[in-house]
Amino acid sequence: MTSTPRKHLALALGIAALLAAEVGTAAAQPQSSSSARQLRQDTQAIHTLGVSGVQARMIEPDGRQTVAISGTADLNTGHPVPADGYFRMASTSKTLVATVILQLEAERRLSLDDTVDHWLPGVVHGNGNYGSRITIRQLLQHTSGLHDDLPGYSTPQEYYEQRHYVYSSRQLVARAMEHAPDFPPGEGWQYSNTGYILLGTIIRQATGHPAHREIEHRVLRPLGLARTRWRGTASSLPRPHAEAYQLFGPRSRVDVTDQVPVDHENLSFVTTTRDENRFLRALLGGRLLPRRQLAEMRRTVAVNAEVQQLWPGGRYGLGLVERPLSCGGTYWSHEGGDGGYITLNGVTAGGRRSVVVSMSEARGDSLEHILEQERAASGLVDHALCGP
């Protein structure tokens, strides 16, 4: 388990190489053809690094969609990656949680300046942790200082032993309370899954319903995202999907698809590149939040030096990351990584152009390989959003 947003990353050796693309039915213009060709090249480049399976979907301002796949969905069978296969949404679900919190703020059912103790008295306490000093805004923006101590595994044996463990939100928060905070609230930035576990519990307190129910009611159903599903403690994914792999050391690669997400109460969503594109476009296009709340979401702070290696020039808002584009301006995103699935995404202001790339294997045996894969996927996003 790392302290970065990336979790359960692994080395990929890449056995099979298959490449295909699916382009929208509208007649292709030269500019669109150039974008599609670049997407295919970038998808293949990620696979060439050693990532066994890659799928990417780009949507242009006119609604034209291009899908590119590379590699294999299963190293045993060599079957191709499904063009719109399921994958674990992982930390991209934090943007769903943040959206619901801001909707509740717009309805005046809570305030971003409410403290954790206001909603969850006595839950954050001990070892220098004080729920009376941490606000909802700080939880959303990772400026609370709360330490992360989520369970993880570092060997194949640990994976096989722990993959079906089920932890409650209370247990996960209690683990964090065994540690002193990383810094006083509001005086630093550190990615904290613990903060979003607390936000899910606050949603339950404010509405009387679990966070996933509010997400389904407020976001997924209105947008028609039928293939974004909460899986709870299920350890499998719906079909079709690519198998997910993790390398624990040299020549020690394991299929880690079968596992229960650690924070299953809040982040146990699976999705597809089509649905994730539609969600991000709707959010930045102003279809889910009033103008004031969307502006709050886009108020950013600097991230720490460690995460700057993953997101050069990146800044964090409320459940959204702002990153610079090589062609000028910025884009909005929130990547997710869990159990071998690593997904990067991006959408331009107003939701006009978007892209999602999901990788079903991760090269996490060294910092060099993590950054290499991150940069290749970030390059794909940058090329897709900048256009030809």
Host domain of residue 191: 19-386
Mean of pLDDT over the chain: 90
Q: Is the confidence at residue 1, as pLDDT, over 60? A: no
How far is Cα 162 from Cα 152, in angstroms, rounded to an integer?
8
How far is Cα 359 from Cα 72, in angstroms, rounded to an integer?
11
Place of tokens 């291009």: 66
Instruction: Note whether residue 148 is domain-resident.
Output: yes
- Read off the pLDDT of residues 170-228 as tens digits, 9 standing for 90 and up: 999 999 999 999 999 999 999 999 999 999 999 999 999 999 999 999 999 999 999 99
Does the pTM surpass 0.85? The reply is yes
- Read off the pLDDT of residues 47-105 as tens digits, 9 standing for 90 and up: 999 999 999 999 999 999 999 999 999 999 999 999 999 999 999 999 999 999 999 99
Name the band, by pLDDT with cuts 50, 70 and 90, for residue 364. Answer: confident
Specify the range with the lowest mean pLDDT, choosing from 24-28, 153-157, 178-182, 341-345. 24-28
Region 269-273 average pLDDT: 98
CA dist list (Å): 237 to 32, 158, 172, 258, 270: 33, 21, 23, 8, 7
Name the band, by pLDDT with cuts 50, 70 and 90, for residue 9. Answer: very low
Place of tokens 């900048």: 386
Q: Which stretches of the chain are assigned E, i.e. beta strand?
A: 19-23, 53-59, 65-71, 87-88, 125-126, 129-130, 229-230, 245-247, 253-255, 269-271, 301-302, 315-316, 321-324, 330-333, 336-338, 341-348, 354-359, 361-362
Instruction: Note whether residue 9 is domain-resident.
Output: no
Instruction: Note whether residue 339 is domain-resident.
Output: yes
DSSP state of 285: T
Are the CB atoms for 263 and 172 separated by under 8 Å?
yes
Instruction: Note whether residue 1 is domain-resident.
Output: no
Name the band, by pLDDT with cuts 50, 70 and 90, for residue 339. Answer: confident
Please give the span between the terminal C-alpha atoms of the chain, in angstroms, as a whole number: 38
pLDDT at 122: 97
pLDDT at 315: 98
Q: Is the confidence at residue 252, as pLDDT, over 90? A: no
CATH code at position 211: 3.40.710.10
> Please, what's the b/e burial string for 175-210 (b: 16 or more CB within 10 A of its CB; e: otherwise)?
bbbebebbbebbebbbbbbbbbbbbbbbbbebbeeb
Beta-sheet pairing, 315-316 with 301-302:
antiparallel
pLDDT at 366: 76
Are the CB atoms for 307 and 324 separated by under 8 Å?
no
How far is Cα 162 from Cα 160, in angstroms, rounded to an integer?
6
Instruction: Note whether residue 250 is domain-resident.
Output: yes
Name the band, by pLDDT with cuts 50, 70 and 90, for residue 387. Answer: confident
Instruction: Note whether residue 4 is domain-resident.
Output: no
Specify the range with the lowest mean pLDDT, choosing from 135-149, 196-210, 236-250, 289-303. 236-250
Instruction: Note whether residue 45 is domain-resident.
Output: yes
Q: Is the confidence at residue 17, as pLDDT, over 90? A: no
What is the domain count for the chain? 1
Q: Residues near 179 by Cβ (< 8 Å), separated by ≥ 6? A: 127, 147, 149
Are the CB atoms for 346 and 387 separated by under 8 Å?
no
Sort 300 into a burial class: Cβ within 10 Å, 0-12 / 13-18 / 19+: middle
Structure tokens at 87: 């994958």
Q: Is the confidence at residue 113, as pLDDT, over 50? A: yes
Instruction: Note whether residue 153 is domain-resident.
Output: yes
CA angle 245, 247, 248 (to 5 degrees): 135
* Better-scored residue on pLDDT, 119 or 3: 119
pLDDT at 282: 97
pLDDT at 32: 62
